[in-house]
Structure 1
Amino acid sequence: MNLSFFRMPILCLTIALLGNFVYTNINLENAEAGNIKIGVVDISRVFEKYKKRIDLDSELKGQEKGFQDEINKKRKEIIDLDEETQLLDLGSEGRSKNENILERKNVELEGYAKFAERQLLKKYKDFFESIYEEVIQKVEEIGEQKHFDLIIKKEEPDLKSEQISDLQFKIGIRTVLYHSDSVDITLKIIENLNTSYSREKENK
């Protein structure tokens, strides 16, 4: 069993897990007067540059490799035992004994592979949920400190697609069609997150 598919791409999971984050109750008169303060955040870029996400991703890949190494070890034991069994006489006591062991080891391998799959999926899910919560908390914190009226999630989807349904989905998730650089607070969010994470590591 190949566990490489557990490496969920960061940007795909971001699209699946993240919803629009906005401050509501906007005063339309203020908006028309140009007094509304708006910010735009590229969440995918925040995830990409957040050092804690990078460290946790590396840690999870290490755990994934540990599971894969154990699976490969169990698989090699089965292959070696099977090759040994093929050299024994049909119907012999030794061959029958080996065949019973092979059956048991195959069941154990299947059970372990399913266990590894469940563990990794849960770890990845918990990982992205925790990072997402931290990002949103930081956006809220900066929104309140800097007196923003509205902060919008920005998406930059890759529109290359062979399927019209995929193209429609990618167009549909794009929430901001244009913004000036002055309202993009992505770097501020990244800097604040990484500063907080550095302090967190120092205090451990």
Structure 2
Amino acid sequence: MIRFTRLAVIAAIFAGFTFAQTEAFAQNKSTRIGLVDMAKVFENYQRFKDEREALKDELKKRETEIKALAEQIKAAGEELKNSPYGKDSPQYAAQEKKVIELNGLIKSKQATIQREFLRRESTMYKDIYVEVTQMVGAAAEHYGYTMVIRFKAEDVAAQDDPQKLIQNMSQLVIYHQETDDITQRVIEVLNKRYRPVAGR
């Protein structure tokens, strides 16, 4: 009985909230809401694809440097293992020092590369996000939208993955008209504007 009462209260609050929202929109008839799937924009924006691929290529080059160092460490380790000198000899100590220094160098390089690429990746995301949001704003002004809401343009009915289904069911937008989704138009204009720059 207590559980039923709690559910009834929650339902009443939700109903009141929905009614209040409806009233607000009814009073302000000039409000037009557009929708944009930001994940889809990023996935289909050529600049994002190009810059991400460039980062991957650069990372592969840097990984080659690390592999070369790893080979040096392996060779130095084998040399130390098969050293004809005794462990107390200066020659053995020099070889051991070389292995330790190479190990320190590879760890330092790996940490530097990781920091550098995390920084470059976050800068790339930030720059492209700023550009995309500016384009969304321009599209909203052009098509007469006073507000644009982020949403996921996946069809819930066609979704089989339970986790993704729950995520899609919890999104803010339950119903929309196709004309309110400006995602594809934003992608087209971004790519049109980017191609000449990429060509140059």
Would you say 1:44 and 2:42 are equivalent positions?
no
Per the TM alignment, residue 47 of structure 1 is displaced from its structure 2 partner at its CA by 0.3
From 68, 74, 95, give the equivalent of 1:73.
Answer: 68
Give structure 1 stretches of 5+ with no counterpart.
1-25
Alignment of 1:50-199 (within 5 A): 50-89=45-84, 90-91=86-87, 92-155=89-152, 160-161=162-163, 170=167, 174-199=171-196
Partners of 2:41 and 2:186 within 8 A in 1: yes
CA contact (8 A) 1:51 1:194 kept: yes
Contact 2:152 2:168 in 1 (8 A): no
- Matched residue type, 2:174: L
Confirm or deny: 8 A CA contact 1:37 1:148 kept in the other structure.
yes
Do the aligned residues in 2 keep the contact of 1:156 with 1:174 (CA within 8 Å)? no
Q: CA separation in 1, counterparts of 2:110 and 2:169?
A: 37
Q: Equivalents in 2 of 1:140, 1:172: separation in Å? A: 27
Question: SS in structure 2 opposite 1:95?
Answer: helix
Equivalent pairs, count? 170
Distance 1:172 1:120 in 2: 35
Which residue of the partner structure matches residue 29 of structure 1? Answer: 27
Inter-CA distance 73–52: structure 2 relative to 1 (3 Å threshold): same
Structure 1 length normalisation: TM-score? 0.74
Aligned residue type for 2:53: S
The structure with the greater share of residues assigned to helix is 2
Percent of aligned pairs with the same residue? Answer: 25
Q: Could you list the per-position Cα deviations for residues 125-149 of structure 1 after superposition, in whole angstroms to 9, with x for gaps in the alignment?
A: 0010001001000001111122212
Distance 1:104 1:172, change over 3 A: farther
For structure 2, the 5+ residue unaligned runs are 1-23
2:13 aligned partner = none
Report if the CA contact (8 A) 1:71-1:109 is conserved.
yes
TM-score between the two structures when normalised by the length of structure 2: 0.76
Q: 1:134 to 1:80 in 2, by over 3 A?
A: same
Q: Could you tell me how far 1:27 is from its partner in structure 2?
A: 6.4
- 2:151 maps to a residue whose letter is K
